[in-house]
Amino acid sequence: MKALVTGASGFIGRRLVLELVRRGNEVACLVRRTSNTAPLKGLPVELVVGDLGDAASLARAVSGRGHVFHLAGVIQAVDEPAFDAANARGTRNLVDACLRAAPGLERFVFVSSIAAAGPNTPGKPMAEDDEPRPISAYGRSKLAAERIVLEAGGRIQVTVVRPPNVLGPGSKELNRVIGLLRKRLVPDVGDDRPRTSLVDVDDLVEALLLAAGHPRSAGQTYFVTDGRAYAWPEIAAAIAEELGVRRFRVRIPFGAQMLAARLAEAAARLTGRPPLLTREIVRAGRDYSWVYDGSKIGRELGFRPKYGMRESVRRAVDTVRMAGRAGAGRGTGA
C-alpha cells in the first residue's frame, strides 16, 4: 500500500501511521508548515508539506498514492464558517486533487464523526441508514464533508467511517480527566443512563484498514464501536479505579455551565481563538444520547473489537504512568 494520511500527527492519525508502517506499507503524511511533527519523529515516513486550502500542494501529496486516509480537520473553531472552511471545503479540495492527480487511487477513506449523524433516539441506537440530524456546527460541517466524499463515489472508490468518542493511549481528553482525578476532582457530567458509544483507538485503526482494503466497503458508511453503551460517570469511575483514587463528584449546575460557555464564546470572539467550552457542548452532554449500532461493519467486513472501555482506560493510564516515570528518570539524570 502506498498511503497518504492527513491529520497524521493527531491522536488517531499517529496510531494509524504506526500500524501502516508496522505492516510494511509506504506512508506519506500531509503536514502544514506549522504542524507539530514531533509525534512522527523517527518513523520511516515521508512528510509532505501542504494544506487543505492549497490545491497545488494537495496534488503533489496525492500523486502516485493508492490509498488516502483523510483524518485532518478541526473540532474547535470560532464560528460555523470556520468549521465549514476546514472540514467541508478542505475535504472538497482533497477529493478534487485525487480526481485530478491520483488516477491510480484504489480507496479514499474519510474519517468522519458521530457528530455528523447527530444524537440517537433514546432507547434506539442509531444505524447508518437513519437520517442524519447533526446538532452542532462541527457536526454539520462533517456531514457536508461526508456528502462531498460520497458524491465522488462514482469516480473513485470511497468509504466513510464514523467513530464515536475514541479512548486509548494518547487521548488528550482522557489524559485531562486522568489529571483531574489525580487531584481527586472531576466535574460531574451526565447521569447514570448509558449515553455514549466508545471505541478504542487501535480497534478504530483496524476498522480503517479493513475499510481501505475490503471490496464490499466501497461507497459505504460505517459506525465503529466496541458494542456497548456507557454512562459518562461510569467512564470516570473506571479511570479512578485504575488510578486507585477516590473520586469526589462535583456537581456544577447547568446554569453555571451555560454561563461559563457563554463567557468562553465571548472570549473567542475577542481573541479569534476557538473556545474550549461552548453551549453546544454543554447541551450535548446533558440533553442527548450518542449511542450507535456498530454491527454493520462486523457483518460486512468482519470487524471485531478487541478492547472494551475498561481495557482502553487501563492502557491509557499505563501509558501516562510510564511517561511519568520516564520524565522522572530524565529529571534525576537517569
Write the pLDDT tens digit of every residue in 129-166: 999 999 999 999 999 999 999 999 989 999 999 999 99
pLDDT tens for 254-268 read 676 677 767 777 776
pLDDT at residue 252, as a whole number: 64
Question: pLDDT tier at 270 (50, 70, 90 boundaries)?
Answer: confident
| Set of cell numbers at residue 265 | 464564546
pLDDT tens for 98-108 read 999 999 999 99
In the predicted model, what is the mean pLDDT of residues 229-238? 88
Strand 196-200 relative to strand 229-230: parallel, antiparallel, unpaired? Answer: antiparallel
- Given CATH 3.30.479.10, say whether it is the number of domain 2-171+199-227+291-307: no
Measuring CA to CA, how many Å separate 301 from each of 16, 105, 107, 132, 142? 18, 21, 15, 23, 24
Which residues on adjacent β-strands are paired with residue 68? 4, 108
Which residues neighbour 136 within 8 Å (Cβ) at sequence distance 6 or greater?
115, 280, 284
> How far apart are the C-alpha atoms of 288 and 194, rounded to whole Å?
11
Q: Phi and psi at residue 117, in whole multiples of 5°?
A: -80, -35
Q: Provide the phi-psi class of 244: left if phi over 0, else alpha when psi is between -120 and 50, else beta.
A: left
Whole-model pTM over 0.75? yes
> How far apart are the C-alpha atoms of 162 and 24, rounded to whole Å?
26
pLDDT at residue 178, as a whole number: 79
pLDDT at residue 248, as a whole number: 60
> How far apart are the C-alpha atoms of 71 and 49, rounded to whole Å?
16
pLDDT at residue 334, as a whole number: 45
pLDDT at 332 over 60: no
> How far apart are the C-alpha atoms of 224 and 161, rounded to whole Å?
7
Report which DSSP code applies to 269: H
pLDDT tens for 52-83 read 999 999 999 999 999 999 999 999 888 899 99
pLDDT at residue 237, as a whole number: 87
How do the domains of the chain map onto residue ranges? 2-171+199-227+291-307
Handedness of CA 277, 283, 289, 295 (dihedral sign): negative
Which residues neighbour 256 within 8 Å (Cβ) at sequence distance 6 or greater?
none
Question: pLDDT tier at 305 (50, 70, 90 boundaries)?
Answer: very high
Measuring CA to CA, how many Å separate 107 from each of 157, 309, 326? 5, 30, 40
pLDDT tens for 6-46 read 999 999 999 999 999 999 999 999 999 988 888 899 999 99
| Set of cell numbers at residue 117 | 449523524
